[in-house]
Structure formats: C-alpha cells, structure tokens
Structure 1
C-alpha cells in the first residue's frame, strides 16, 4: 500500500502514466522562451493544446504565463507540467539556465509535475546542478513529481549523444532526486538499452530536430522504445507538423501500442475537418 506521505506523488504520477503501461508521451512547449513562438500562424496556444490533448498526448510542458491563455478544460485528460527553467538562444551563454518559477507557484497553478533543464558540462553547470538539487528537495516536500531534462552540452562536450555522457546525464538526474529524466537518444538501440539499464527512474528520449517525414518520426519513436525508454518528450516534430493532432495521435499510437492507420504518409499535411470543428 502507498504510504500516506507519498499519496499525492503517486496520484500525480498516476495521472501522467494514465494508460497503465509505463509508457509516456510528453510534448514540451517551452521552446517559446528559448527560441520564439511555437504556435502556427493563425492558431493559438489554447487551440494547439487542445489538438495535443485530442491526439492523446499524456502531458505538456509549459511556462507559467502560458496558462493564462489556455482553457483549464484542455487538461481534463492530459497532465500539466510547469517548466521552472529558462534562457534564450540570444544570450552570451545560451547554455546557462535560470529558475524563473517556484515549485509552490507551480502547485498553485495546478501542476501535476514540474521540470527543470540542466546542461551537464556547461560553464554554468554548478548553478544548474544546485538548482536541480534544491528543486528536488522542494518537490519531495510537496510530493510533486520532477522531470529533469539533462543534456550533455558545454565547451568540453564533443559528442553529446555519446552513451557514456547520456548515461551520466540520466544517473545525475536520478541521484539528485528526479522522478523522470529526459535525455538525448544515443542513436543506437543496443547502446540505448545499456543506458536505460543503468538508470533507476523512467527515462524519456528527446524528440530532437525536425525529421523528414511522419514515417521518419515514427521510426525514431520505435527505436527509442526498442531501446527500453519509457517514451519520448517530442516537441517540434509534433507542434510543427501540418496537423499536430494527427501527428500526436500517430506518435501516441506507437508509444502506447495502439494500431496505426494504414494511410499514405503524404496525408500528414491534410487536416481532419471534424476534429478541427471540435477544437475551434
């Protein structure tokens, strides 16, 4: 039986892993602070979030201010992860990350979990690792799940997807108290299995840069799962798709083992008018 002291944490993790299959599809939307707007022209963050929910995404990562522009009903069947870290690509050191939201504020906003970003090997690593430790302590106090996004990045990092670096990133997150970790995919199923085997917490692979087609995206997700990962945290390849809802549904189908529609990949650019009417 779950300890009373950990009841809230288990409840929130249960919302994230709502399918009961230990698999997870997260869509980060925090790129808007780092790189600029993520919402397609003519749409809105509320509409995009609705498309992700309709497509079966398990949780989205957003910054606190974005929630002012999203209807709470979008999270009826999807978890809210509030991102605590920020930086922009225009900074002198774009690999430096700073905390911009408190754990208590995320709780007040209704978060099911929070996330922090750490660039392992960066010039600012000391601050970022310290922030991770402090956030983990607060999450433990409030029984709030913590997702650590850890990337090998810095002056001395030549091959950020090297297995020895990715496994270090994963175990760093676990050792400092994270409940989940997001790391780069190492590019090889067998080596990914070794990374996962060394990590005692659920591991998600970052979706990475845009891929050539929906077929390429799904092939990547299958390799990630064959490598033993719990799922993917996929942003650009979903929210930049011509039809984010359909792309999310296709990825969710792979992650959760549901049958895939047998349609030509070219239909990726076509929108489902019935769903568009519901989400409008």
Structure 2
C-alpha cells in the first residue's frame, strides 16, 4: 500500500461510498477495438459516465483523449483513474501493451489515480513489467495511487483463471508497487478465498462475461464473499441493455454486500 501522505489521501478518496469496497468501471476499451457506446444511444460517452456516477460507482477508468468528451461535473461524485497503457486487437501481438500517457500528464488532467495493464506471459512481458515498475516509481514520487490490471495471457497460457496464475498476477502487482490489482478471478470459491487472503493489496474482481450477466454477477458475488476488495466491471456495464440498472446492482453488491443470486 502507499506510504507517502498525498498518496494515502488520494487512495482514501477513491472510496467515495465509504464501505471499504471499490466499484470501478473501466471504459478504456475502444483502443483495443471494443466500442463502448450503444448505437443510436443519445449522449454518448458523457451520458454513460453520468450513469456510472449516478449508479454508485466509486471511480471510472478513461484514456486521456476521452476526457475531452466528458463533462467536468461528472466527477463531483466520481473519481477519475487515467489509464496509461494501450494496445490494439489489430496488432501481431494483441496482448502487447505500451505506455501512452505519463503520471504527470494524468495529474494535469485531474486524475485521482492511474492504471497500467500488464499481460504476464505475453511476448512483450519484460517491457510491460518494466513499464509497471517505472510508473510505480513515478506514482511514489507524485503521490498517486496505482491500479495494476494484471492478467495471465499469452501463447503459453491455457487458462488465465487457473488459481496459481491468478495468484501470480496479483503478486506481480503488489511486488512492483501497485496499491490495487484488477484481475480475472479463479472460478472456485475456495480458490477465491485463498487468493484474497494471500494478497497484500486489495484484489478487484474483473467483471467477466458480459454475454451472461447473471453468471457474471453470481461470480462477482462469490468473489466479494471471499474477501475481494471490490469489482472492476466495464463490459458488464456498457454492454448491458440498461447500464444504469446494472450499476445499481453492482453497487448493491459491492457497497451494501447484497449477495442475492442472479438468474438469467
């Protein structure tokens, strides 16, 4: 966890709803090739971020250019995490990520925190690890919380949710200086509990399969019961027929610890 005072202050501010659990909505997907706006839906990104704020999320993750299309008032009750890394699905290595923004630039944009993506097991893993370590150093210097999105992905990875691989992903984030880690969680409840108990930093459960929202919500509920530090769900929100309604369900799960089973 962060040790310097400004970093601790900003980290505490991320917990907008004061429950000890974080609900983060990543909206960094367009660069990878996943559109996040429903066709014909009025208001575009600004309206979606408004839904995120009104639905009880603590923070949203955005790339620097996206901020030009979002009203400043959206962040009166919502923290801003600026995503520093990117890669496209068009690349010869779709798991490759490079830094496209700096901590200093994110601060100039009004960020409360920053995030970096690492795919452990990819062909460019060494550079991604070096980037994460460098950003962690800058975060220490500037007093900024760091969310590491770490996944086991690459040509040699058969199951990125295998418990030992997920534990390794969380360890990478903690060892290199992140305050929070987002990752794809193991499937079994016992493995979820072992992961969260072993991690020295809060583990945010990735949203999961947006095509089966009931199963995804049940898995996230299992993760929260097992000690997850919160949820980071993007596709589950922006692919929902009613993003605001999905956000209310996620907020109840994370902040109110309402774990009713969802059905299709």
Structure 2 CA distance for aligned equivalents of residues 70 and 115 of structure 1: 19
CA contact (8 A) 1:250 1:260 kept: no
Tell me how far 1:138 sits from its aligned partner: 0.1
Higher relative contact order (CA 8 A, sep 6+): 2
**Which residue number in structure 2 is paired with residue 231 of structure 1?**
230
Question: Aligned Cα RMSD in Å?
Answer: 1.9
How far apart are the structure 1 equivalents of 2:258 and 2:207? 21
Q: Decide whether the 8 Å contact of 1:221 with 1:255 is kept in 2.
A: no
Match in the other structure for 2:101: 101
**Worse overlay, 16-25 or 138-147:** 16-25
- Name 1:183's counterpart in structure 2: 183
1:92 Cα deviation after fit: 0.6
Unaligned stretches of 5+ residues in structure 2? none
Closer/same/farther in 2, CA of residues 258 and 197 from structure 1, 3 Å limit: closer
1:258–1:127 distance in 2 versus 1, CA, 3 Å: closer
Query: 1:33 is matched with which residue: 19, 23, 31?
Result: 31
Q: Is the 8 A contact 1:118 1:128 kept in 2?
A: yes
Larger Rg computed on CA atoms: 1
Give the Å deviation of 1:39: 1.1
Following the alignment from structure 1 to structure 2, what is the Cα–Cα distance between the partners of residues 16 and 149? 16
**Alignment TM-score, normalising by the size of structure 2:** 0.94
Q: Which residue of 5, 10, 13 corresponds with 1:12?
A: 10
1:222-259: CA deviation from partner (whole Å, max 9, x where unpaired): 11101211111101111111111111011101111166
When structure 1 is superposed on structure 2, of 13-22 and 112-121 the one drifting more is 13-22
Across the two proteins, how many residue pairs are aligned to each other?
Answer: 260
In the alignment, structure 1 segments of 5+ residues that lack a partner are 267-280
Cα distance in structure 2, aligned partners of 1:138 and 1:132: 10
Give the C-alpha shift of residue 260 in structure 1.
8.8
CA 1:209–1:258: 2 relative to 1, 3 Å = closer
| Misfit runs of 4+, over 4 Å | 258-261
Deviation at 1:18, TM superposition (A): 2.2
